Amino acid sequence: MHRYYDHLSHVIGHRGACGHCPENTTSSLRKAKSLGCTWVEIDVCLTSDGLPVIFHDDTLNRCTNGEGLMLKSHSSTILELDAGGWFSPEYSGEKILTLEQVIHEIIALDVNLNLEIKSHLGWEPETVAAVARVLNEKWPSDKPLIISSFLPEILEEARIHLPQFPRGLNIDVIPTNWLERLSEIDAGSLHFYEPFADPAKIEALKRAGYKVMCFTVNNPSRAQELYEMGVDSVFCDYPERMITGQ
């Protein structure tokens, strides 16, 4: 088990604290910290000119005042967009962060990071190479970071270009052949979709020495059931619900 998993907390702020603030932005990260998070999860993907930016969707439509595909949009446009006004007028003017900017913010907040790498199919090597260039230069050695992805090819590339970080496989349903899938990419954790919690499989994963994480859990009593099944951490949009029971 990679030593970074020793630091894992029971609650990970999802896209920062995206129930309270526009997801994946500075305000969302700061909110997660203020609510007691010691870990946050954010998504990274590429612009057309290969800049890694912190953004969840393939398209700009839902979370910015722009439109079209992120991967077909130049960073000069992306970095000018309003990524907060869609959530509430209070946040208008909030910008999309670059990976480099978010690293500075995460260091300043003194939280640990689960970086989920998103990619279009076919662009996995380019995506990881660009992310790795930034992480290898800017991420402090010995600061805990877990790389995760729904795409096994991303994790295979991360194993090559970012071997110092543990890898988590995101998946909806815990597959029957989970051991084979995790072994293939030498992953240390499996992150599954909450409706598909399967106590027997979670127990087997734990017995095999894996960390098990679950997205997205906003109900504290459901989180308690999952912890009792052996789940180590839940991704939460409202982290204060789990941390302080508010």
Residue from 148, 156, 157, 237 in contact with ligand G3P (CB under 6 A) = 148
Residue from 13, 27, 37, 43 in contact with Mg ion (CB under 5 A) = 43
Nearest alpha carbon to residue 41 among 65, 14, 67: 14
When asked if residue 194 is in the footprint of Mg ion (CB under 5 A), the reply is no
Among residues 137 and 211, whose Cβ is nearest to ligand G3P?
Answer: 211
DSSP E strands, the chain? 11-14, 39-46, 52-54, 112-117, 145-149, 167-170, 189-193, 211-215, 233-236
Nearest alpha carbon to residue 110 among 190, 7, 14: 7
Among residues 61 and 244, whose Cβ is nearest to Mg ion?
Answer: 61
Q: Which of Mg ion, ligand G3P, none lies near 192, with the C-beta cut-off 5 to 8 A by kind?
A: none
Among residues 2 and 56, whose Cβ is nearest to ligand G3P?
Answer: 56
C-alpha to C-alpha distance for 105 and 203, rounded to whole angstroms: 36
Q: Which of Mg ion, ligand G3P, none lies near 211, with the C-beta cut-off 5 to 8 A by kind?
A: none
Nearest alpha carbon to residue 201 among 227, 179, 233, 224: 179
The residue range among 78-86, 93-101, 110-118, 184-192 that interacts with Mg ion, by the rule CB under 5 A, is 110-118
